[in-house]
Structure 1
Amino acid sequence: MQLAAIIVSLVLIAVGVALFCRAVVQIYRFVRLGQPVPAGLRTDDPGRRTVTLAKEFLGHTRMNKWGVIGFAHWFVAVGFFTLLLTIVNAVGQLFRADWILPVIGDWAPYNVFVEFIGTMTVLGILTLIAVRQLNRPDKAGRKSRFAGSKTGQAYFVEAVILVVGVCIFTLHALEGAQHHVDGYEASFFLSYPFVSWFSGMDLSTLQNLTYFFAGLKIATSFIWMIVVALNTNMGVAWHRFLAFPNIWFKREADGGTALGELQPMTSGGKPIDWEDPAEDAVFGVSQVEQFSWKGLLDFSTCTECGRCQSQCPAWNTGKPLSPKLLIMSLRDHAYAKAPYLLAGGEKSMEAERPLIGTVEENGVIDPDVLWSCTTCGACVEQCPVDIEHVDHIVDMRRYQVMIESAFPSEAGTMLKNLEKKGNPWGLAKKQRLEWLKELDFEVPVVGKDIEDLTEVEYLYWVGCAGALEDRAKKTTKAFAELLHMAGVKFAIMGGDEKCTGDSARRLGNEPLFQQLGQE
């Protein structure tokens, strides 16, 4: 038993470490295929970024929105990193069954920590396994946030964590039996019933059990490492490493999500000058390598948890868009294409696939998926590892709109209306003043009733919907009435007001947004 455990364990350790180091290099080279980002965008205020990372990991601030799931995941995540010394302990036990770590091996606080975190890791993963079973796609269909996830990989990772956790607990109990613990003490405050049970066995049996569980723990851990190293697109495993840089390099150093204004269009890591764009400027994304390096890191980090999918209004209303499946498709395509890119242009089927295209065209992302997004940002808000879905979707739209002129017909009509009439519906300028007729007081209009804005306290910017859409006009009138009742002096721009261009920007027409924004 001992000899077999030693040989198998040492071989698996050597192979696992070698393959894992190779995989780390592969992922690093893969991420570097992405485009640069504007200087300082991802590296400003490193101190605050580090604090943000510590808060998000140690406090599980994003995960804890999901209650008991976040609580269970905290112990699984913390246990993975803080119980690494138990592998060293297991290796020592292969050679001498009663071996313990020097200095801290018999230190009560360390043993209490191993007992508690090890046990809670087992209970945590059992909780997460139960959650996955209760939300199985074959039972819940589209309502399951795991629909479309690589379930086999997830079960493998969960089984590994469970087996390793049980081995840690059992080896600690066997340690107590071999060191003749004959009464309750803090170091074995959870495992003492098992220590007592094992104490009734003869020494040879205890040693063989130790060799078995130490070998099982090492074999399970390094088989996992080998499988993960051979599958660099296995997000359900790699996220436990890649989440740290992905969170550190997030858009907002203070921890805010990547919502609010969209990022300016860049080419080669520099913002595009719309008055005089460079001849070789790349507009939007038409190939996976045209995403920024942060985009490729995003794709690699996705853990397929489906929180984004569960909150997506498009997915929940039966549309084809799932933010999770979109990121997974981009990730798998990127990793399949990476060898071609790193080899300097060797042709392959994967390299020739269009990024946006129908099933018949063998496209990576179907156009219906791309145009189902409302850019509401629910996916970005929910993602526990700070993936910036909306930015990537808009980048792909930008190329489709600006270069391919490929977009839904309704979008084309709206963009023309914005360009010609300054509003999405193509209504005349004078109709922006129609809502005033339903008020029983006067609202001054700039350029008509007043010339100098110093005559009023505030300029009320109404907006296209607020001035022209029947439901929104109710809000506009109510707000104007409140201002009037409060004695606030205000004016509106009326027919001279134009759309901000936000709708055009979210659809991918950045030049039109720039034009309307300046106007």
Structure 2
Amino acid sequence: MQLAAIIVSLVLTVVGVALLARAIGQFVRYFKLGQPVPAGTRTDNPYQRSVTLVREFLGHTRMNRWGIVGFAHWFVAVGFLTLPPTIITAYGQLFEADWTLPVIGGFLPYELYIEFIAAMTTLGIITLMAIRLLNLPSRPGRKSRFAGSKMGQAYFVEYVILTIGLAIYVLRGLEGALHHVDHFEAAYFASYPLILAFKGLGLGTLQNLVYFTAMVKLGTTMIWMITVSLNTNMGVAWHRFLAFPNIWFKRNATGGTALGGLQPMTSGGKPIDFTDPGEDDVFGVSQVEQFSWKGLLDFSTCTECGRCQSQCPAWNTGKPLSPKLLIMSLRDHAHAKAPYLLAGGGKTMEGEEKASEEQLKDVPAAALAEAERPLIGTLEENGVIDPDVLWSCTTCGACVEQCPVDIEHVDHIVDMRRYQVMIESAFPSEAGTMLKNLEKKGNPWGWPRSSAWSGPRRSTSRSRSSAATSRTCPRSSTSTGSAAPEPWRTAPRRPPRPSPSCCTSRASSSRSWAATRSAPVTPPAAWATSRSSRSSAWRTSPR
């Protein structure tokens, strides 16, 4: 049993470490495909960025908004980072069943910490699994924040963590039995029931159980490592590593969310000078490689947790936009297209191929097919992002506010919109009138430039409103230099009512007013003629 456990564990370890090293190299080359960012915008104030990273991780400042979910995830995340010493212990137990770490192996604080964190990590992952099962998309549909997530990958990661947590406790119980712990000790406060369960077993049986359990623990760990290394777009696993740099390189070093004013349009890492743009400047994003390296890092870091989706007003009102699904689509497209880009492939603005056939001869057919997909296009066009999805965003920032790993959804959506508007002139028809008014009138409502900001205001006193408006609102001059009157200023006013002083008494005044109200109103003949002529002209005109 011992020999088999050693062989299986070491073979899986060699394969897992080799594939992990290759995956890290792929990520480095992949992120280099992205465009540079303006100098200093992501690396300013390194100390404050490091403080922000520690605060967001240890405090779980975004996750803790979700109550029990944040509490359970905190223990799972801390366990993932601090339980690797148990992996070293498992390797030692393959060769010697009662082996412990030198120096700290019998140190009581360390033993207490391992018992506590392992227990809370196991309970935390069970809680998260129960929450996922209770919110399966098969029942609530769009209302589930997991709608569209890759559930198989999520279950794989969760069951791996559960298996490792249980293996740690079995090994702790076997260790206590081998060390003849015959009464309750603080160092084994959580695993003591297992010590009692193993107490009557023989030495050989205990040793074989140690070898087998250590092999299960190490084998599960390495199978997880092999799986995620072969699937670099598996965000539900890779966010455990990529979340740290993604938070460190966030827009605001002080920890603020990436909201507020839109970022300036850049090309090649430099803001575009619209007074004198360069010939090679790219306006917006039309290909996935035109995103910045931070954008590509954002896509790969997505955990598919669905918090952005659950808070999106577009998704919650039946629109096709889901921030989560948009980021996932960009991530999967970028990783599928990466082999083509790494071989030197790319398209010019005219759609011509940059690379030669010799460069692309070893590129997989799937990557070549992915390279032909338009970034923005309908289902019939095989587009990555549908135009209806792109233009459903209200840029409210709820997704950015909720994301636990600081993905900047709005910036990426705006970059794609910029290209669609400025280069393709492709935007919803509803926006056409607004953009035309902005271009010709200087305002989105189409008001004349002379009165765009001097419209009538409600007031209890017409004279006071008129006087205030004439003092504060500018008037445009005509060619002769005189002020152009606004139409509402020159409209005839309603004639005033007769003063009560015109009547001989209050009673006669009331009778006169009643007679006036009851008398039929006969319009002038010119009005009637004009009205009849307009009516006949309307009826006889072609529609």
TM-score, normalization by structure 1: 0.85
Which of 447, 457, 468 is the matching residue for 1:436? 457
Q: Which has the larger radius of gyration?
A: 2
1:461 corresponds in structure 2 to none
2:417 corresponds in structure 1 to 397
Q: Deviations over 1:57-88 (max 9, x none)?
A: 11111110111100000000000010001000
Q: Confirm or deny that 1:378 pairs with 2:398.
A: yes
Q: Deviations over 1:189-209 (max 9, x none)?
A: 111121122112111111111
> What is the one-letter code of the residue matched to 2:138?
D
Alpha-carbon distance, 1:183 to partner: 1.2
Q: Is the 8 A contact 2:34 2:295 kept in 1?
A: yes
> What is the one-letter code of the residue matched to 1:375?
T
Alpha-carbon distance, 1:434 to partner: 4.0
Alpha-carbon distance, 1:421 to partner: 2.2
SS of the residue 1:339 aligns to: helix
Supply the distance in 2 between the matched residues of 1:451 and 1:423 (Cα, whole angstroms). Answer: 16
1:341 corresponds in structure 2 to 341
Which of 384, 395, 411 is the matching residue for 2:431? 411
Are residues 436 and 125 of structure 1, via their aligned partners in 2, closer, same or farther at CA, if it must alter by over 3 Å?
same
Are residues 418 and 124 of structure 1, via their aligned partners in 2, closer, same or farther at CA, if it must alter by over 3 Å?
same
Q: Confirm or deny that 1:355 pairs with 2:370.
A: no
1:305 corresponds in structure 2 to 305
1:3 corresponds in structure 2 to 3
Alpha-carbon distance, 1:367 to partner: 0.4
> What is the one-letter code of the residue matched to 1:403?
I
> What is the one-letter code of the residue matched to 1:373?
C
Supply the distance in 2 between the matched residues of 1:265 and 1:105 (Cα, whole angstroms). Answer: 56
Are residues 445 and 190 of structure 1, via their aligned partners in 2, closer, same or farther at CA, if it must alter by over 3 Å?
farther
Are residues 449 and 165 of structure 1, via their aligned partners in 2, closer, same or farther at CA, if it must alter by over 3 Å?
same
Q: Is the 8 A contact 1:111 1:188 kept in 2?
A: yes
Q: Is the 8 A contact 1:308 1:323 kept in 2?
A: yes
Q: Is the 8 A contact 1:145 1:305 kept in 2?
A: yes
Supply the distance in 2 between the matched residues of 1:414 and 1:395 (Cα, whole angstroms). Answer: 20
Are residues 443 and 38 of structure 1, via their aligned partners in 2, closer, same or farther at CA, if it must alter by over 3 Å?
farther
Q: Deviations over 1:412-431 (max 9, x none)?
A: 11111122223222134536
Q: Is the 8 A contact 1:375 1:390 kept in 2?
A: yes
Q: Is the 8 A contact 2:233 2:331 kept in 1?
A: yes
> What is the one-letter code of the residue matched to 1:381?
E
SS of the residue 1:276 aligns to: coil
- For structure 1, the residue ranges without an aligned partner over 5 or more in a row are 453-519
Supply the distance in 2 between the matched residues of 1:316 and 1:440 (Cα, whole angstroms). Answer: 46
Which of 467, 471, 484 is the matching residue for 1:449? 471
- For structure 2, the residue ranges without an aligned partner over 5 or more in a row are 346-359, 475-543
> What is the one-letter code of the residue matched to 2:85?
L
Q: Is the 8 A contact 1:444 1:450 kept in 2?
A: no
Per mean C-alpha deviation after superposition, the further-off stretch among 433-442 and 274-283 is: 433-442
Alpha-carbon distance, 1:447 to partner: 9.4
Matches within 5 A, 1:114-263: 114-263=114-263
Q: Deviations over 1:174-196 (max 9, x none)?
A: 11111011111110111112112
Alpha-carbon distance, 1:439 to partner: 5.0
> What is the one-letter code of the residue matched to 1:146?
F
Identity %: 73
Are residues 437 and 16 of structure 1, via their aligned partners in 2, closer, same or farther at CA, if it must alter by over 3 Å?
same
Per mean C-alpha deviation after superposition, the further-off stretch among 54-63 and 340-349 is: 340-349
2:15 corresponds in structure 1 to 15
Q: Is the 8 A contact 2:454 2:473 kept in 1?
A: no
> What is the one-letter code of the residue matched to 2:197?
W
1:325 corresponds in structure 2 to 325
SS of the residue 1:173 aligns to: helix
Are residues 178 and 284 of structure 1, via their aligned partners in 2, closer, same or farther at CA, if it must alter by over 3 Å?
same
Supply the distance in 1 between the matched residues of 2:100 and 2:140 (Cα, whole angstroms). Answer: 48
Q: Deviations over 1:217-241 (max 9, x none)?
A: 0000000000000000000000000
Which of 396, 401, 408 is the matching residue for 1:388? 408
TM-score, normalization by structure 2: 0.81
Are residues 426 and 89 of structure 1, via their aligned partners in 2, closer, same or farther at CA, if it must alter by over 3 Å?
same
Matches within 5 A, 1:12-161: 12-161=12-161
Alpha-carbon distance, 1:210 to partner: 0.8
Are residues 430 and 170 of structure 1, via their aligned partners in 2, closer, same or farther at CA, if it must alter by over 3 Å?
same
Are residues 165 and 402 of structure 1, via their aligned partners in 2, closer, same or farther at CA, if it must alter by over 3 Å?
same
Q: Deviations over 1:305-335 (max 9, x none)?
A: 0000000011111111000000000000000
SS of the residue 2:458 aligns to: helix
Supply the distance in 2 between the matched residues of 1:124 and 1:438 (Cα, whole angstroms). Answer: 63
Q: Is the 8 A contact 1:417 1:423 kept in 2?
A: yes
Alpha-carbon distance, 1:443 to partner: 7.0
SS of the residue 1:256 aligns to: coil
Q: Confirm or deny that 1:267 pairs with 2:267.
A: yes
Q: Is the 8 A contact 1:288 1:330 kept in 2?
A: yes
Supply the distance in 2 between the matched residues of 1:265 and 1:167 (Cα, whole angstroms). Answer: 52
> What number of residue pairs does the alignment pair up?
452
SS of the residue 1:368 aligns to: helix
